[in-house]
A and B are shown apart, each in its own frame.
Chain A
Amino acid sequence: MSATLTDVLPLAPDEQALGRDEPGWLADLRRAGLSVYRARGLPTVKVEAWKYTSLSGLTKIPYVLDDGGVALSEGGDRDALALDDAWTVTLVNGRPVGVPDELPDSVRVDHLSRLLEDEPETLEPHLGRIADLADAPMGSLNAAHMTEGLVILVDDGVVLDRPIHVVSVTEAADGARHMHPRHFVVLGEAADVTLVESRVCAPGADATLSNAVQEIRLGERARLRHLRLVASGEEAVDLDLTEAEVGAEAAYEAFTLTLGGRLVRNETRARLRGSGAAARLRGAYGVCCGQHVDTTLVVDHAVPDTTSDQLYKGVVDAQGRAVFQGKIIVRRDAQRSDGGQLHKALLLAPDAEVDTKPELEIYADDVKCGHGATVGDLDRDQVFYLMARGIPEAEARALLVEAFLDDVVGAVPDGPLRAAFLGAVRRWQAGRHAATWEA
């Protein structure tokens, strides 16, 4: 923690202008964010939560704050998942472009900037109240900067029969930009929503730093399926911190497929706040070619009788580096917590690396918690078996990789959604290259 970059403190906003013309609570939020970031600076490997992912290299890139004004470029289908039957909303560099038509009245999809401007009182109970960013330097930096993002508010009892699809595109701008989108999803009691998110990149729009925070709040008995494809650009730095607060009997079910980006960190925290709350965090990743993909999960069993399970599988090929940190916390008196975690990685090349840190922090005795982790190559006997049946080695390996990922991709609901995610995996396999996924 000693090696902070407080002297230069890159990416920080101008303190004087912070929170000007804004409600007091919002200005306080920004100042608190800046002070945490100031105290901690850009995370380096000396910070335990960032042990395997250092951001100190970012100081070399002359990022300027994205000021909007970038339009969606013509041509090229950015909808990586090609979902027909969904309410789609597009974001360019973290800023929503319009909102979907024909949404039921009970669902509100809006721009953060609009709410901040016109009705901050709608945001006040949620903004900065869900995610606890005191220990998150980058999340705090987001709080200092945030001006734009997507807000999704769903009334009690609403069950959506089609997914909401957020296509988040990074577009080229003049010079390297940094941006700090802040998104919100608040589900009322017993609401049931599927949210699909694709993070993609337009050609030539590589050198961006996206530092997003998503705050998710699930009311009692609500259910959110949160499916994500992360296919950022070759030079993109894509940091995302998602914190979900799960109410009684509610379920947060996430699936994250990460297939690209120079440096990607998906940090997901689920706080189980009500009895019967559940979190299922699943994901898969494919990493190669100088990419660094960090998955950091924290499940916090804050009250008795909650369940969670984490299942992540990854494939790391030549020059790729994958990081998996998964933590289960069981608070004092959170009896009868049931938390499981499994991480399995395939290491396919000698210059690839996987760093795993599964962690248990348990303060109650009547719990069922465990974790497992394995790292290894494909089973040689299996490869040979397929080859002996006449299948070329590359194809045999691809087949086995797909089989390896099969159960975790199976977390995506069957039908067009699963087909779309499987398609993304296959394109990655064919190209082993993030930029080529655009079929």
Chain B
Amino acid sequence: MAATQDTVDRIAEVSGAYKYGFVTDIESDKAPKGLNEDIIRFISAKKAEPEWMLAWRLKAYRHWLTMTEPSWQKVVYPPIDYQDAYYYAAPKSDDDRPKSLDEVDPELLRTYEKLGIPLKEQEMLAGVAVDAVFDSVSVATTYKKKLEQMGVIFCPISEAAQRFPELVQKYLGSVVPYSDNFFATLNSAVFTDGSFVYVPKGLRCPMELSTYFRINEQNTGQFERTLIIADEGSYVSYLEGCTAPQRDDNQLHAAVVELVAMDDAEIKYSTVQNWYPGDETGKGGIYNFVTKRGACRGRNSKIMWTQVETGSAVTWKYPSCILQGDNSSGEFYSVAITNNAQQADTGTKMIHIGKNTRSRIISKGISAGRADQTYRGLVKVMPKATGARNFTQCDSLLIGDRCGAHTVPYIENRCPSAQVEHEATTSRISEDQLFYCLQRGIPEEDAVALIVNGFCKEVLQTLPMEFAVEAQKLVGISLEGSVG
């Protein structure tokens, strides 16, 4: 909790619109600009990957060349020049991966401390194990040893590919195939790092696992890949946080996350996404085009996605659950805030395949300024998913009359014993609510933050404690300047 308080105070004390806009001055090792097979070979060689992995990357790359960028989403951005970016950047001193935190460049540690993720302190005090990913590489993973004693593997995916090749080969691409979609395929070709988690049978992972992503370099894309496997009867809670410096150009972040839950296993995946959103005029910011998908392979398995999306210039993201195992369940809780010129097209997919599968979708969208936001969600019930149930609630809140809030659910039901319910509302903060708060002495911006936090409560309370407080503050910060 000490770390959390630290984070909170930090956020509170720093002034200016985006709190993480600083750039760390670190010498870095970059691959040449552009994308081709040589770059992919370079990345694979840097990571000392097994041969099959390079082959897989190249297969993805060749497939990607045949694909076109999707255009169905309700967002607008100029064409991306995929040749005008670096696909690999690593802090130079990290050429030999540090064996312990003592070997990590102190400048890096200071960066993470600034971000509210003090790696050292965290290791000492908080019950959270952290993997810190800086541009293309993982720079530090805390609590690694302690976790491995219990049989939990928590390490950079590049390391996992060397140390646990069978596990990685078995599951990589098994939920999001290399050919899945434009951005996932690009990621399959060029992904640089990310976290790998394996929780053995019957173990309830005693601490929160967390990855903190940071884009630092200019003109680099970030393509991390996360793979989490929860074996029979295990439980794991995983947190993900993201920030990037304030820059005038747009940067691409195209990540892939794959989750696999076996019989009776449960995975809780929480994200607080606060990539740089661009300035008020829409200049700069991250393009956050992410594919996240979980497979509930086993009976009674459960996957829960919680996301708080406040950053990025453009977001395109649909964390999904494939409910294969009988009685498995998927949940999606989302708060998305768009302000100024931000755009987001986000939601989820719940695919009911097994019997008595359950899904629940709670989405809270807040749009302010000139921002445009769309909830897009699919609930699909296959003919054999007898007794399946879905409940969806989508609420949108508009702040100001220049923004947009849209809801596009797709409900496809082919099973008569299934029950699917969907509800959506659109509203705004009422003048009465605002005046009531003002009359109690609460300043307008705080009042808006308070009311919006109330609107999102159902989602925020699903976050682990450490993130919930931070997320609440973030809600307020994200909406600064949206009233008055």
A and B in contact, CB less than 8 Å: yes
Q: Is A126 an interface residue (CB 8 A)?
A: no
CB-defined contacts of B427 to chain A, threshold 8 Å: 367-368
Is B425 at the interface (CB under 8 A from chain A)? Answer: yes
Minimum CB–CB distance from B201 to chain A (whole Å) comes to 36
Whether the pair A360, B420 counts as a contact (CB closer than 8 A) is no
The reply to whether B418 and A370 form a contact with Cβ atoms under 8 Å apart is: no
Q: Are A359 and B411 in contact (CB under 8 A)?
A: no
Q: Which single member of B396, B405, B408, B413 contacts A357 (CB below 8 Å)?
A: B408
Bound Cα distance A118, B406 (Å):
47
Cβ-defined contact, A375 with B419, below 8 A:
yes
Nearest-Cβ distance from residue B385 to partner chain A, whole angstroms:
11
In the complex, A48→B74 CA distance in Å? 12
Interface size class of A (residues with CB under 8 A): 35 or more
With contact pairs A352-B414, A359-B407, A372-B424 given, residues A364 and B401 touching in the complex (Cβ less than 8 Å): yes
Q: Which residues 327-368 of A sit at the B interface, judged by CB distance below 8 A? A: 332-333, 335, 345, 347-368
Once the chains are docked, how many angstroms separate the CA of A350 from the CA of B418?
10
B413 neighbours in A (Cβ, 8 Å): 345, 347, 353-356, 375
**Given A350-B415, A362-B396, A370-B383 contact (CB < 8 Å):** no
B416 contacts A365, C-beta separation under 8 Å: no
Chain B minimum-CB-distance residue to A377: B416
Which of B417, B421, B424, B427 has the most chain A CB within a 10 Å cutoff? B424
Q: Which of A350, A352, A363, A375 contacts B411 (CB 8 A)?
A: A375
Known contacts A347-B415, A357-B408; A362/B398 CB under 8 A: yes
- The verdict on A122 contacting chain B, using a C-beta distance below 8 Å, is no
Contact pattern, A 367-387, Cβ under 8 Å of B = 1, otherwise 0: 111111111110000000000
Chain B residues within 8 Å of chain A by Cβ, number: 34
Nearest-neighbor residue (CB-CB) of A321 within chain B = B414
Interchain CB contact under 8 A, A349 and B399? no
Q: Which of B398, B421, B425, B428 contacts A370 (CB 8 A)?
A: B425
Give chain A interface residues in 162-185, CB to chain B under 8 Å. Answer: none
Q: How far is the CA of A350 from the CA of B386 in the complex (A)?
A: 9
Give B238-250 as 1s and 0s: 1 = Cβ < 8 Å from A's Cβ atoms. Answer: 0000000000000
Give the docked Cα–Cα distance between A347 and B427 (Å).
32
| B426 adjacent to A360 (CB under 8 Å) | yes
Evaluate contact between A333 and B383: CB separation under 8 angstroms: no
Tell yes or no: B400 within 8 A of A by CB: yes
Chain A residues with CB below 8 A from B415, complex form = 347, 350
**Is the Cβ of B409 less than 8 Å from the Cβ of A373?**
yes
Bound Cα distance from A361 to B408, whole angstroms: 8
B457 within 8 A of A: no
Chain A: CB-nearest residue to B428: A365
Does residue B52 face the partner (Cβ distance < 8 Å to A)? no
Determine if B407 and A367 form an interchain contact, defined as CB atoms under 8 angstroms apart.
no
Residues of B within 8 A of A361 (CB): 404, 406
Residue B423 CB within 8 A of the other chain = yes
Q: Closest residue to B424 on the A side, CB-wise?
A: A371
The listed residue (B401, B416, B420) touching A374 by CB distance below 8 A is B420
Residue of A353, A370, A372, A376 near B426 (CB, 8 A) is A370
A290 to B63, CA, bound (A): 38
A375 to B402, CA, bound (A): 35
Closest Cβ of chain B to A45, distance in Å, is 12
Q: How does the 8 Å CB contact mask read for A306-336 relative to B, with 1 for contact and 0 for none?
A: 0000000000000000000000000011010
CB of B403 closer than 8 Å to a CB of A: yes
State whether B407 touches A371 (Cβ < 8 A).
Answer: yes
- Interfacial chain B residues near A358, Cβ < 8 Å: 407, 409, 422, 424
Q: A355-B412, A374-B419 are in contact. Are A369 and B398 (CB under 8 A)?
A: no
Q: Which residues of A contact B421 (CB under 8 A)?
A: 372-374
Within 8 A of B (CB), among A261-316: none
Complex CA gap A356/B378 in Å reads 10
Residues on the A chain within 8 Å of B422, using CB: 356, 358, 371-374
Q: Is the CB of B420 within 8 A of A376?
A: yes
Cα distance, A338 to B31, chains bound together (Å): 55
Are B407 and A360 in touch, CB under 8 angstroms?
yes
| CB contact under 8 A between A362 and B423, given known A352-B414, A373-B411, A377-B416 | no
Question: B364-407: which residues lie under 8 A (CB-CB) from chain A?
Answer: 383, 396, 398-407
What CA separation (Å) do A403 and B57 show in the bound complex? 58
Given contacts A360-B396, A374-B420, contact A369 B426 (CB under 8 A): yes
Which residues of chain A come closer than 8 Å to B420, judged between CB atoms? 373-376
User: In chain A, what residue has the closest Cβ to B406?
Assistant: A361
Docked Cα-Cα span, A348 to B416, in Å, equals 6
Q: A347-B416, A362-B396, A376-B418 are in contact. Are A356 and B407 (CB under 8 A)?
A: no
A356 CB contact (under 8 Å) in B72, B401, B411: B411
Q: Please tell me if the beta carbons of A362 and B414 are within 8 angstroms of each other in the complex.
A: no
Check B405 against A360 for contact (C-beta < 8 Å). yes
Question: Would you list 20 pairs from A and B whose C-beta atoms are within 8 A, ordered by A residue?
Answer: A48-B72, A333-B401, A350-B383, A350-B416, A353-B412, A353-B413, A353-B414, A354-B412, A356-B412, A358-B424, A360-B405, A364-B398, A365-B400, A365-B403, A367-B426, A367-B427, A368-B427, A370-B424, A370-B426, A371-B422
11 further A-B pairs in the complex, CB-CB below 8 A; given A360-B408, A376-B419: A350-B415, A352-B414, A356-B409, A356-B411, A360-B424, A360-B426, A361-B404, A368-B427, A372-B421, A372-B422, A375-B411
List the interface of chain B (C-beta within 8 A of A). Answer: 72, 383, 396, 398-428
